[in-house]
């Protein structure tokens, strides 16, 4: 039941924020804040009540299964393991921070803004919790529409263009995924006679390599667009730059993570053999993303666009880690998802705070601002250091683990990826230099970070230091989930290979094992 | 006492936290108290720990202390664990004691700077990170300290951030060292993936057991670690950042860019010496890199005008000696030279700081001159340090440490006459550029007036370091002169000794040559720059002289080379692809659709005539196709 709350609370919170927001703006803000705080409290409660020690196969914390449209085999199936828990927790955390940081930035249609923001968060939670592919697709689309509104209503100068571009990219790639979902649905039905969208039943569906490959590509493109992987990344700089601050934070911090999450949760376990054949290409795309994103970031004049391109670079590590597919790399990937969410989210918040004060994002007019706003300078410096992977902060642990894991798979690709650390240094320090160091180009009379903004930054800084020096709680929480995913992917390896030659026996046998595991869990 | 070890790095970190969070609100005196006090406490604790360690050595001559377990992923379980043995102990002592003296000096030097608390916050962070680097028991924690000191180096070089040139120098330092760090990171991956641990002692043991000398893996691993070491220690080919790093405040140059951080590369090679012994070609490369670097930067030092740049090139050159020592397997000699170098080079920088402080931030030696009467204490201490750097025989620490390196470069099993020859030429260069600097700044005509005299907080460190620069060498005397081996005896609990192959006879001959050469350097400096200053100017004015002068002055044109090969192509690429050519594909699709739309919408013009014609034309074509097919 508790899982349903993660979707209902933000939905209701959003509705109430909208209703009460018609009369008073602060009411909308407070309602959103409180509902997200409740959500965060629930996550923490769940975390502490059920320490990650293996519960059943794959270590699931909680499960909610009720039928929805039984005629078509669609069920309302939510479940949470360590991976989902971490992602939901990140969602709540960044949600709270986004509401807090938009407190003074958003002054128009405040209620509707929070409705959209919270609906996105509900959609994201749904994505992280759905164990039914139809439901998953439903939430995948649910987070898209309000995000479109967020960009096109509260965005900056070129918002319409950016919003439409964002919508077309994600919508088109989402349709490919829908095709693949239907494909695996029918393949499974033909094999077993059972029509179902249930994730656990679909795992281990045997198909010919060609079918498996094309169905996987549908998923891959959808997730690679979201992630984003080069060459599907070009919606990102526009959307991130034009979105309001909270929009950019949610985009970079959470929406991109749904792509990574999809790869880990669905793509590899559903198509293990095909994923293996794709792995070298995907890893190369990851490395290209790391380097290409860094070069692009360095070339920008618009500070927000620069930060947006750093996401392309950092998410390259995620792609590399996922397709290296071993526990070191996957742990690093999960940590990278969390740390990148926090560090890049914080950078977007800071850019937003700066834009609120000087009404521009053009770095050519900035410079020498440390003198007038030293606190903001120091905080920007901190997150720039996080972004270049300074040891002691979470991003370092994440990238180190990813690279350590990918080294096992490919020495050459890892060596190229490592040079990304040098490029990250170049663009990160460039941010600090252009905005805060150097000569003053104008006499700024602007206020430093307010108490509210400092409070937000305080939480973000403490989280990154914690993740950098003592990431064990996160690692321990993710471990059973990752082990489970890796097992389900490898145990499927044999039947998937067998499907090449004769029959479905292997597939159904292992499926029976799987299903019995799930049944055990549900009882 | 040993269980207090963790406090030694933690105290400076605590100082950093206090200054970073509350520094703005603290008074100058309170800032100095926190900033200097934290390092002072750490120095006192280090001395106490050292006394304890030496008087009652723990079993196996090492001590470990775990604070907490950092990670635990798939068998990778490094801890926040400190490891104390003879090697890290000596380094720790030097870092905290010299660090404390420099902090004390800075409390006066930086007094009028508006970033006083920011300065001490960064300095404390540096000392803490440096201690983590030295005390780390595993390579991951080591890497944390390693990157931490790199960060502080960046922050402090660019301390005066308003001048974009300082920012450039700071970023250059960080980026160039990070190139080396990237190589080192790959080295860590290699070690972990093949040996299954990152704990240094365990790694060494396993490497020794499972790898045969000269095989591919140890060679690759050692080469990658060497990549990190040459970056941090400013050796060929990554030495270019150090001269520019002089943009930072002078105490920073003394602490980070002379005494401590830049020797971290020496430390890591000594720390992983077992791995390097398994990789003879890499070890040979270490020696050759050292020899080449000490020569190249020696030549560059002779041509500099900026007093700090002379010292910077000299630092590169002296670290070259340490690399030379490491390369011939003379581990303890390298650390010995590290120690004496920390004393006299820190002193030289602090002395230069007094001059710069007193002359309104003047760095050009040719605008100084005749300072010995105006700044007597500074002059004498500077002279002592210069003598030590030039290895003036018997009365200086530098003599004993450098002499040991030269002797072992010749006589160690891995040594050769060529390495020795490079060292001896370097020794000539050293005393030549050192006394050139002394004569130009302190002798001759005075070109400017000293406006600020140093106070006690600046003079005490000078005197203490001068004392150490003389006496620091007496704990280790060569076999032919007293044969004191307190230092190497202690070091040999952590680092293996080296057996000289040549006899006492040879040692005497080499000793005498070394003495003659270093005194000769002083003589030539006197000849060229004091006795007949016109001579050197005339030499430099001949056309080959001018060419060489410009070449050496620019640091052998490495900056130019990297600029052309790496920096400019990167900037060009970033600029030309600012709008991301991949996006053109998508905008191309959009543009195509729009174009089709506008072409087709031309047909929708509302003219009945046009539509009728269209219908007719279409009908004719359809019929034509149907009939003619």
The ipTM (two decimal places) reads: 0.89
Distance from C-alpha of B7 to C-alpha of B22, rounded to nearest angstrom: 21
Which chain B residue lies closest to A436 (C-alpha atoms)?
B161
Phi, psi of B134 (to 5 degrees): -70, -35
User: Are residues A299 and B70, on separate chains, in Cβ contact within 8 Å?
Assistant: no
Helix (H) or strand (E) holding A185: helix A159-192
At B343, list the tokens.
């004393």
The residues near B388 (Cβ < 8 Å, ≥ 6 apart) are: B340, B343, B344, B396, B397, B398, B399, B469, B470
pLDDT > 60? residue B271: yes
Q: Which residues of A touch B177 (CB under 8 A)?
A: none
Classify residue B57 by its DSSP letter. Answer: P
**CA Rg, chain A, in Å?**
22
Does the pLDDT of residue B304 top 70, yes or no? Answer: yes
Q: Which residue of A301, A390, A437 is in closest CB contact with B167?
A: A437
Q: Distance between CA atoms of B328 and B334, rounded to whole angstroms? A: 10
User: Residue with structure tokens 């005509």?
Assistant: B445
User: Residue B493 is inside which H or E element, if any?
Assistant: none
Contacting residues of B for A437, CB less than 8 Å apart: 158, 161-162, 164, 167
| Residue A479: closest C-alpha in chain B | B73
Give the model's pLDDT for residue B447: 79
B9-13, B295-299, B604-608: which range is least confident on average?
A: B604-608
Is the four-CA dihedral B490, B423, B291, B546 of positive or negative sign? positive
Q: What is the mean pLDDT of chain B?
A: 89
Hey, what are A220's tokens?
Answer: 């891959």
What is the predicted pLDDT for the residue at A58?
A: 53
How high is the pLDDT of residue B139? 92
Which residues of chain B does A295 touch, with a Cβ-Cβ cutoff of 8 Å?
Answer: 570, 573-574, 577
Judged by CB atoms within 8 Å, which residues 130-169 of A form the interface with B?
A: 165
Tokens of B520: 């000769």
Q: What is the mean pLDDT of residues B33-43?
A: 92
Give me the pLDDT at residue A492, please.
52
> If you count them, how many residues does chain B have?
629
* B80-118 pLDDT, tens digit each: 999 998 899 999 999 999 999 999 999 988 888 888 889
Say if CB A302 and CB A265 are below 8 A apart: no
pLDDT digits (tens, 9 = 90+) for B214-267: 889 999 999 999 999 999 999 988 989 999 999 889 999 999 998 899 999 999
Alpha-helix runs per DSSP H in A272-410 = 272-298, 303-324, 327-358, 374-387, 394-409
Q: Round to whole Å and give the CA distance between A165 and A210.
A: 32
Nearest CB neighbour to B189, from listed A300, A404, A436: A404
Measured between CB atoms, does A425 come within 8 Å of chain B? yes
Q: Which residues of B touch A391 (CB under 8 A)?
A: 140, 143-144, 146-148
**How many other CB atoms are there within 10 angstroms of residue A204's CB atom?**
25
Q: In this complex, which of A299, A425, A426 lies closest to B578 when CB atoms are compared?
A: A299
Q: Mutate one of B148, B189, B579, B589 to test the A interface: name it (highest A CB count within 10 A).
A: B189
- For the beta carbon of residue A5, count every other beta carbon within 10 angstroms: 14
Residue B327 CB partners (closer than 8 Å, separation 6+): B283, B284, B285, B286, B287, B288, B289, B290, B291, B414, B419
- pLDDT in the model for residue A500: 40
Residue B364 is predicted with a pLDDT of: 85
Helix (H) or strand (E) holding A126: helix A110-129
Distance from CA of B130 to the nearest CA of A (A): 14
Interface test with A, best of B23, B66, B67, B73 (most A CBs within 10 A): B73
Return the DSSP state at B76.
B
Judged by CB atoms within 8 Å, which residues 451-470 of A form the interface with B?
469-470
- CB within 8 Å: A404 and B192: yes
B582-598: average pLDDT: 88
Tens digits of residue pLDDT in A358-405:
888 888 888 888 888 888 989 999 999 999 989 999 999 999 999 999
Inter-chain residue contact B193 with A422, CB threshold 8 Å: no
Min Cα–Cα distance to chain B from A301, Å = 9
Query: Are B71 and A438 a contacting pair at CB < 8 A?
Result: no
- pLDDT tens-place string over residues A240-257: 999 999 999 999 999 999
Q: How far from B338 is each of B123, B332, B530, CA to CA, in Å? A: 21, 10, 31
Query: Does residue A295 sit at the B interface (CB-CB below 8 Å)?
Result: yes
- Contact flag A472-B573 (C-beta cutoff 8 Å): no
Measured distance CA(B384)–CA(B392) in Å, rounded: 10
Structural tokens at position B356: 């710069």
- Using a CB-CB cut-off of 8 Å, the residues of chain B touching A299 are 574-575, 577-578
Measured on CA atoms in the order A270, A271, A273, A279, is the torsion positive or negative? negative
Q: Would the CB atoms of B20 and A378 count as touching at under 8 Å?
A: yes
Residue B296 in tokens: 């190249």
Can you list the alpha helix ranges (DSSP code H) found in B527-565? 533-541, 543-553, 558-562
Under DSSP, is residue A302 helix (H, G, I), strand (E, B) or coil? strand
Banded model confidence at residue B551, pLDDT cuts 50, 70, 90 = confident
Cβ–Cβ below 8 Å for A400 and B140 = yes
- Tokens read off for B163: 């001048």
Stretch among A83-87, B192-196, B507-511 having the lowest mean pLDDT: B507-511
- Mutant choice from A229, A429, A449, A454 vs B, greatest count of B C-beta within 10 A: A429
What's the predicted TM-score (pTM) here? 0.90
Of B161, B175, B577, the CB nearest to A426: B175
Residues of chain A falling short of pLDDT 50: 52-57, 493-523
Confidence of residue B552 (pLDDT cuts 50, 70, 90): confident
Interface with A, mutate which of B138, B580, B583 (most A CBs under 10 A): B580
Query: What residue has token string 């509401």?
Result: A99
Give chain B's radius of gyration (CA, Å). 30
């Amino acid at each position: 039941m508790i899982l349903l709350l993660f979707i209902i609370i933000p939905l209701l919170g959003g509705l109430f924020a909208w209703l009460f927001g018609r009369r008073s703006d602060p009411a909308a803000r407070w309602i959103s804040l409180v509902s997200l705080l409740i959500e965060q409290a629930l996550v923490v409660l769940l975390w502490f009540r059920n320490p990650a020690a293996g519960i059943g196969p794959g270590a699931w914390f909680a499960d909610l299964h009720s039928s929805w449209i039984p005629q078509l085999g669609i069920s309302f199936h939510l479940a949470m393991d360590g991976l989902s828990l971490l992602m939901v927790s990140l969602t709540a955390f960044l949600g709270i921070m986004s509401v807090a940081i938009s407190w003074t930035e958003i002054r128009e249609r405040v209620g509707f803004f929070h409705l959209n923001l919270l609906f996105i968060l509900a959609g994201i939670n749904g994505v992280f919790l759905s164990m039914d592919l139809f439901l998953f697709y439903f939430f995948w689309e649910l987070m898209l529409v309000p995000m479109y509104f967020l960009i096109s209503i509260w965005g900056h100068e070129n918002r319409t263009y950016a919003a439409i571009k964002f919508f077309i990219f994600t919508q088109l790639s989402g349709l490919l995924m829908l095709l693949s979902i239907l494909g695996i649905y029918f393949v499974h039905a033909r094999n077993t006679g059972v029509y179902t969208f249930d994730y656990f039943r679909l795992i281990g569906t045997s198909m010919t390599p060609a079918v498996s490959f094309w169905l996987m590509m549908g998923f891959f493109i959808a997730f690679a667009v979201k992630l984003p992987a080069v060459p599907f990344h070009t919606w990102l700089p526009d959307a991130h730059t034009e979105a309001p601050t909270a929009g950019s934070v949610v985009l970079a911090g959470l929406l991109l993570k749904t792509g990574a999450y999809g790869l880990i949760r669905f793509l590899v376990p559903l198509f293990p053999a095909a994923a293996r054949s794709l792995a070298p290409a995907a890893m190369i795309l990851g490395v290209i993303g790391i380097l290409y994103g860094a070069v692009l970031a360095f070339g920008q004049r618009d500070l927000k666009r620069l930060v947006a391109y750093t996401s392309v670079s950092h998410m390259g590590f995620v792609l590399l880690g996922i397709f290296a597919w071993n526990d070191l790399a996957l742990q690093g990937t999960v940590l990278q998802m969390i740390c990148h969410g926090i560090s890049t989210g914080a950078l977007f918040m800071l850019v937003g705070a700066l834009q609120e004060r000087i009404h521009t994002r053009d770095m050519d007019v900035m410079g020498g601002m440390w003198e007038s706003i030293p606190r903001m300078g120091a905080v920007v410096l901190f997150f720039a250091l996080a972004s270049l992977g300074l040891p002691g902060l979470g991003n370092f642990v994440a990238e180190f683990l990813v690279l350590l894991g990918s080294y096992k798979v490919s020495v050459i690709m890892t060596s190229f990826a490592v040079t990304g650390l040098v490029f990250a240094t170049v663009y990160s320090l460039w941010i600090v230099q252009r905005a805060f160091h150097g000569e003053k180009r104008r006499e700024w009379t602007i206020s430093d970070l307010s108490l509210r903004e400092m409070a937000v930054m305080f939480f973000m800084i403490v989280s990154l230091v914690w993740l950098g020096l003592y990431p064990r709680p996160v690692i321990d929480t993710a471990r059973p989930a990752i082990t489970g995913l890796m097992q389900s992917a490898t145990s499927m390896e044999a039947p998937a290979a067998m499907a090449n030659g004769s029959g479905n026996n292997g597939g159904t046998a292992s499926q029976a094992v799987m299903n019995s595991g799930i049944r055990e869990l549900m009882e | 006492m040993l269980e207090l070890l963790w406090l030694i790095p933690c105290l400076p970190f605590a100082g950093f936290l206090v200054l970073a969070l509350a520094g703005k609100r603290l008074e100058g005196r309170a800032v100095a108290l926190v900033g200097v006090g934290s390092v002072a406490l750490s120095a006192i604790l280090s001395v106490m720990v050292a006394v304890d360690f030496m008087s009652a050595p723990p079993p196996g001559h090492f001590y470990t202390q775990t604070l907490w377990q950092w990670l635990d992923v798939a068998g990778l379980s490094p801890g926040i664990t400190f490891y104390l043995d003879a090697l890290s102990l000596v380094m720790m002592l030097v870092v905290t004691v010299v660090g404390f003296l420099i902090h004390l000096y800075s409390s006066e030097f930086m007094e009028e700077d508006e970033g006083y608390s920011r300065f001490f916050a960064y300095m404390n962070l540096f000392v803490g990170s440096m201690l983590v680097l030295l005390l780390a028991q595993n390579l991951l924690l080591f890497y944390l300290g390693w990157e931490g000191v790199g960060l502080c180096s960046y922050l402090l070089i660019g301390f005066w951030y308003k001048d974009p040139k300082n920012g450039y120098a700071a970023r250059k330092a960080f980026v160039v060292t990070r190139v080396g760090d990237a190589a080192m990171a790959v080295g860590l991956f290699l070690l972990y993936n093949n040996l299954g641990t990152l704990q240094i002692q365990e790694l060494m043991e396993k490497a020794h057991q499972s790898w045969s000398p000269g095989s591919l893996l140890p060679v690759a691993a050692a080469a990658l670690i060497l990549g990190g070491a040459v970056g941090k220690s400013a050796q060929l080919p990554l030495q270019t950042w150090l001269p520019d790093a002089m943009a930072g405040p002078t105490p920073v140059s003394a602490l980070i860019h002379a005494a401590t951080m830049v020797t971290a590369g020496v430390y890591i090679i000594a720390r992983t010496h077992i791995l390097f012994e398994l990789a003879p070609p890499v070890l040979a490369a270490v020696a050759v890199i050292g020899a080449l670097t000490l020569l190249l930067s020696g030549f560059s030092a002779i041509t500099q005008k900026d007093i700090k740049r002379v010292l910077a090139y000299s630092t590169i050159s002296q670290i070259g000696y340490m690399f030379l020592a490491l390369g011939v397997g003379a581990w303890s000699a390298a650390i010995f030279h590290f120690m004496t170098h920390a004393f006299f080079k820190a002193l030289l920088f602090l002395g230069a700081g007094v001059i710069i402080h007193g002359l309104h931030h003047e760095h050009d030696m040719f605008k100084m001159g005749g300072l010995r009467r105006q700044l007597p204490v500074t002059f004498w201490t500077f002279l002592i340090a210069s003598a030590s750097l030039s290895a003036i025989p018997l009365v200086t620490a530098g003599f004993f440490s450098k002499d040991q390196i030269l002797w072992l470069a010749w006589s160690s099993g891995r040594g050769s006459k060529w390495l020795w020859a490079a060292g001896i030429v370097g020794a000539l260069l050293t005393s030549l550029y050192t006394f050139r600097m002394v004569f130009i700044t302190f002798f001759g005509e005075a070109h400017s007036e000293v406006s600020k005299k140093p106070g006690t907080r600046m003079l005490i460190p000078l005197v203490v370091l001068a004392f150490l620069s003389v006496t620091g060498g007496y704990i280790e005397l060569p076999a032919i002169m007293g044969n004191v081996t307190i230092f190497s005896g202690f070091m040999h609990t952590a680092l293996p000794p080296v057996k000289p192959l040549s006899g006492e006879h040879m040692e005497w001959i080499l000793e005498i040559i070394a003495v003659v050469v270093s005194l000769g350097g002083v003589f030539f400096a006197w000849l060229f720059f004091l006795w007949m200053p016109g001579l050197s100017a005339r030499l430099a004015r001949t056309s080959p002289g001018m060419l060489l002068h410009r070449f050496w002055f620019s640091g052998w044109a490495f900056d130019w080379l990297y600029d052309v090969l790496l920096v400019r192509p990167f900037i060009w690429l970033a600029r030309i692809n600012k709008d991301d050519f991949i996006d053109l594909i998508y905008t191309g699709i959009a543009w195509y659709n729009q174009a089709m739309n506008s072409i087709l919408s031309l047909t929708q013009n509302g003219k009945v005539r046009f539509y009728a014609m269209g219908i007719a034309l279409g009908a004719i074509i359809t019929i034509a196709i149907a009939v003619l097919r």
